[in-house]
Amino acid sequence: MNLNQVTLPVTDFDRSVAFYRLMGFTLIVHSPPRYARFECPEGDSTFSIHTVEDPTSTAGMVVYFECLDLDARVERLVAEGFEFNKLPSNERWLWREARLIDPSGNEICFYWAGDKRKHPPWRVAA
């Protein structure tokens, strides 16, 4: 089994499409005003957005995008006008991460974990 995609709720379709395209994701399905799907710049992952009238709380929900070039990517996005609420920093769980909020309030985390992503020292034994 492999994760196909995650769909994020959005309240402003056009603004959200522009946000993710400017961030570097490739638009592969565009069905305004309700649905769009994107490919990630690296790997085989996709994600989508879907317009909602009355969004439910996204509290506690975070979408993670792993970036080998985390610091350079964040620096480039900041130069393009993206506002991060957390710039790249080393975390106690052995990841380096930066965070921002998309136009609909979804929290996005860019991070680099290397082999610690799936094999942290506290990984549960099989």
Here the CATH number for the domain that contains residue 17 is 3.10.180.10
* Total number of residues shown for the chain: 126
Does the residue 126 lie in any domain?
Answer: no
Mean pLDDT of the chain: 94
Does the residue 121 lie in any domain?
Answer: no
List pLDDT tens digits, range 40-91: 998 889 999 999 987 676 677 899 999 999 999 999 999 999 999 999 999 9
Strands (E), 17-115: 26-31, 35-39, 46-51, 62-66, 84-90, 96-101, 107-112
Does the residue 125 lie in any domain?
Answer: no
pLDDT, position 2: 83
- Kindly report the pTM of this predicted structure: 0.91
Domain count, the chain: 1
Residue 37, strand partner residues: 29, 48
Residue 32's domain comprises 7-116
Does the residue 22 lie in any domain?
Answer: yes
